[in-house]
Amino acid sequence: GAVVSQHPSWVICKSGTSVKIECRSLDFQATTMFWYRQFPKQSLMLMATSNEGSKATYEQGVEKDKFLINHASLTLSTLTVTSAHPEDSSFYICSARDGQGAWELFFGEGSRLTVL
Amino acid sequence: GQQLNQSPQSMFIQEGEDVSMNCTSSSIFNTWLWYKQDPGEGPVLLIALYKAGELTSNGRLTAQFGITRKDSFLNISASIPSDVGIYFCAGLNQGGKLIFGQGTELSVKP
């Protein structure tokens, strides 16, 4: 099956710094990628839809200036958490859809962010 | 907004027992999915359901899509320790977005 890889798998940063998380589709082209956030023992909450070559679409309540998304190529989307605070500590997961029109979403391994 | 209500929230069972969990929604979904998530990893697709009333199996897993397209159940037969994890139902809406249930955390005692 298709492979989606995230990097880094975990990161610890100081409050006020910015952190970038990468999501790559390794063996397919993804015109659309999705970013989710998951708190411990909770469900995956969709944050935004990342579209290659255009602006991301954010879900209600998600600050677009806080969570910057860039989808510059068909195999890479990045999520930057700007001026991170402890409440931003979470598990961030991306998923990608094969650009061939299939519905199936392939998920990355997730990136755990801890803000001190 | 669209929501999926999943139950039970957690289950503690003995190895070898069968497990059943279900999911309901106030909205209709054309595609219903069941995922498993191991600690510190992304979810992995177990079963996809496309047709109302469809019953689909994948090894020891069986899932059914409700006639109304608003509910589904997942059964796991003869559970084993590696079945431990969190199981999520998810509905694919018309906008192509996945809406997840709250998850069922399964613990299996050897």
How many whole angstroms separate alpha carbon B96 and alpha carbon B89? 16
Average pLDDT, chain A: 92
Chain B positions contacting chain A at CB under 8 Å are 1, 31, 40-45, 48, 88, 92, 96-103, 105
pLDDT digit string (tens) for B31-47?
Answer: 999 999 999 999 999 99
Q: Is the pLDDT of residue A74 over 70?
A: yes
Residue B60, both tokens: 């020891």
pLDDT digit string (tens) for A13-35?
Answer: 999 999 999 999 998 888 889 99
Q: What is the pLDDT of residue A53?
A: 82
pLDDT digit string (tens) for A33-64?
Answer: 999 999 988 999 999 998 888 889 999 999 99
Q: What is the pLDDT of residue A91?
A: 97
Q: What is the pLDDT of residue A99?
A: 66
Closest-CA residue in chain A for B94? A103
Average pLDDT over residues B46-66: 95
Q: Is the pLDDT of residue A88 over 90?
A: yes
Q: pLDDT band at A96, cuts 50/70/90?
A: very high
CA pseudo-torsion sign A32, A39, B81, B98 = negative
How many whole angstroms separate alpha carbon B110 and alpha carbon B97? 37
Name chain A contacts of B40, Cβ cutoff 8 Å: 91, 110, 112
Which tops the pLDDT comparison, A97 or B42?
B42
In chain B the first and final C-alpha atoms are separated, in Å, by 40
Sequence-distant (≥ 6) Cβ neighbours of residue A9 within 8 angstroms: A109, A110, A111, A112
Name chain B contacts of A42, Cβ cutoff 8 Å: 102-103
Contact B42 A104 (CB under 8 A): no
Specify whether the CB–CB gap between B100 and B92 falls below 8 A. Answer: no
Q: Name the E strands within chain A.
A: 4-7, 10-13, 19-25, 30-38, 44-51, 57-58, 67-73, 76-81, 90-98, 105-107, 111-115
Tell me what percent of the residues of chain B surpass a pLDDT of 70: 99
